[in-house]
Structure 1
Amino acid sequence: MGRGNLIALLPLLFRFKSGWLILLVLGGLWFFKSGGFGNLFGPQHADTAATGETAGKPGAPAGPTDEVADFVSVILADTEDTWGSLFKAAGSGYRAPTLVLYDDRVMSACGLNSAAVGPFYCPGDAKVYLDLDFLGELRKMGAPGDFAFAYVIAHEIGHHVQNLLGTSAKVQQMRMRADKATGNRLSVMLELQADCFAGVWAHHAQRQRQILEPGDLEEGLRAATAVGDDTIMRRMGRGVMPDAFTHGSAEQRSFWFRKGLASGDVNQCDTFAAMAGLKL
């Protein structure tokens, strides 16, 4: 996704609508600056305006770069365009999320969080929080490029879509009654569906607005691989423990992202039926 395409999307910045974001925080594995496990691509909820906000260190002004802030806003607006059309075609309405960009640490209704936790959502204030240094972290993990970052944002919006569809609430109820291993598998299926939904967004954004350039698909797949649970465990110098997966392996994440991208069909993203024969 080159600068020319980014500039072409800038008018979308002025097309935000009122909306809400429901995010089910299931926890997960994520390796960031702290060198530990965090909350990878946290899932979702709310009834707020779809505005961009910024936050910085407590007591200090926020300092987002215009380039990163504009890029995130453009992608968020483009996902709204895509999902708005898909929901309308299904006879429903799409309500947009709220995004907060922050630097180093941020105070949310969930408490004080540092950038070490990665992207996250706080159900108490219904906002998605993205660390401004996250793009650099992706590069360090071997997933550079604009579209790698776009994949991350689209994944978070995928959790929003799950909640609008009622999927997240159902999974949360099932996890509350399940043992830890089963709960982890349900979490994996939810996360992989969000990856598939990210691919669905990319499919329609490309078909309607030609946002992709040569190499963008590879950037997205590298990002999906970099955040696989097995990849993260190896990076930590630990053995791979599938029962501890909460987001899926690198292969699984790449597979479901690619499936959504190829089909553009939400119905092709039923990870629950495909992996466990569940009907939600």
Structure 2
Amino acid sequence: MRMDDYRESDNIEDRRGGGGIGRGGVGIGGIVLALVISYFTGINPMTLLGIMEQTPLARQEAPVAHKPPANDETALFVSKVLASTEDVWNQTFREAGRQYENPKLVLFTGATPTACGTGQAAMGPFYCPGDHKVYIDLAFYRELKDRFRAPGEFAQAYVVAHEVGHHVQNLLGIADQVHKARQRVSEREANALSVRMELQADCLAGVWGKRTDTMKQVLEPGDLEAALTAASAIGDDRLQQQAQGRIVPESFTHGSSEQRVRWFRRGFETGDMNQCNTFKTDRL
């Protein structure tokens, strides 16, 4: 991908090396609270601070975020990809008479607090609708290359674009509708709704790919194939076959390799988010 001339996003939170979860310690707010309690109760504030350091609330405070180092090439690339999604979706929403809200992207290592609970690197990249943030441990890109055999910058960009696709769904109210619908149906039906949700995010990632290339001509030969390889590599059927030696379609939550490739390609070929309505089609 030709991203050298692309701007960096201002919406990156780098929590790596910022404390993680479980390090303890009380922030300035906790100190003030201890002093107030001490004033009214007469308890030694140092005693109160010692108690507060042992509470789950103190241990779950989010690390201080900062900008990624200038020499961190992977973080710089992710920042530019996020900027490209901002440009694409701001323009797309304007064309539809809507207002787009840029999400934040959080870089973390191992685990980090989120509005959706503790985020774990083992979960892979994810989006939290509660705080409008995308979370990614950049170690996932090594796994994408080594375990899933899906190298290449456009494959990495696809991962970010897919999670931003979930943010688009959230802004449009789709995520909330699906969440409510899943609570009213069986587990099998809920899984089927999740598949439609994920395939739509794949399609929206394809729309981003098409539109950002139209804006900036960022794609190079082989880039599209890299993204399609990544989409195929993380299909439920392939992951289940690798993990347990058999495929259980009714337990799918993201879609098969063929489905993920087809919906990403649909978004990429049309560049039209209206072509991504996976909830009104009989053939996924």
TM-score range, shorter chain: 0.7 to 0.9
What stretches of structure 1 of length at least 5 have no aligned partner? 17-49
Q: 1:168 aligns with which of 170, 175, 186?
A: 175
CA drift at 1:61: 9.5
Offset, 1:262: 0.1
- Contact kept, 8 Å, 1:52 with 1:73, in 2: the verdict is no
Question: Where in structure 2 are the equivalents of 1:161-200 lying within 5 Å?
Answer: 161-200=168-207
Question: 1:110: how far off?
Answer: 4.1
Q: 2:216 aligns to what? A: 209
TM-score computed with the length of structure 2 as normaliser: 0.78
Deviates more, 1:219-228 or 1:166-175: 166-175
Quote the Cα distance in structure 2 between the aligned partners of 1:134 and 1:241.
25
> Which residue of 17, 31, 53 maps to 2:14?
53
What is the alpha-carbon distance in structure 1 between the residues aligned to residue 244 and residue 192 of structure 2? 23
1:96 is matched with 102
Q: Could you say if the C-alpha distance between residues 267 and 75 of structure 1 is closer, same or farther in structure 2, counting changes exceeding 3 Å? A: same
Q: Which has the higher contact order (CA 8 A, sep 6+)?
A: 1
Match of 1:13 in 2: 8
From the CA coordinates, give the structure whose radius of gyration is larger: 2
Secondary structure of 1:92's counterpart equals coil
Secondary structure, counterpart of 1:13 in structure 2 = coil
Distance 1:170 1:107, change over 3 A: closer
Q: 2:282 aligns with which of 260, 275, 278?
A: 275
Superposition map of 1:118-267 within 5 A: 118-140=124-146, 141-267=148-274
Q: Give 1:276 deviation, angstroms.
A: 7.2
Q: CA deviation at 1:173?
A: 1.1
Shift, 1:179, TM fit: 0.5
How far 1:112 moved relative to its partner?
3.8
Residues 55 and 61, structure 1, Cα contact 8 Å, conserved in 2: no
CA distance in 1, matches of 2:242, 2:182: 28
Partner of 1:66: 72
5+ residue gaps in structure 2? 24-62
Instruction: State the SS of the aligned residue for 1:52.
Output: strand
Deviation at 1:129, TM superposition (A): 1.0
TM-aligned CA deviation for residue 231 of structure 1: 0.7
Farther-moved stretch of structure 1 (58-67 vs 245-254): 58-67
For this pair of structures, how many residues does the alignment match? 238
The SS at the match of 2:4 is helix
Q: CA deviation at 1:68?
A: 1.1
Residue identity (%): 49
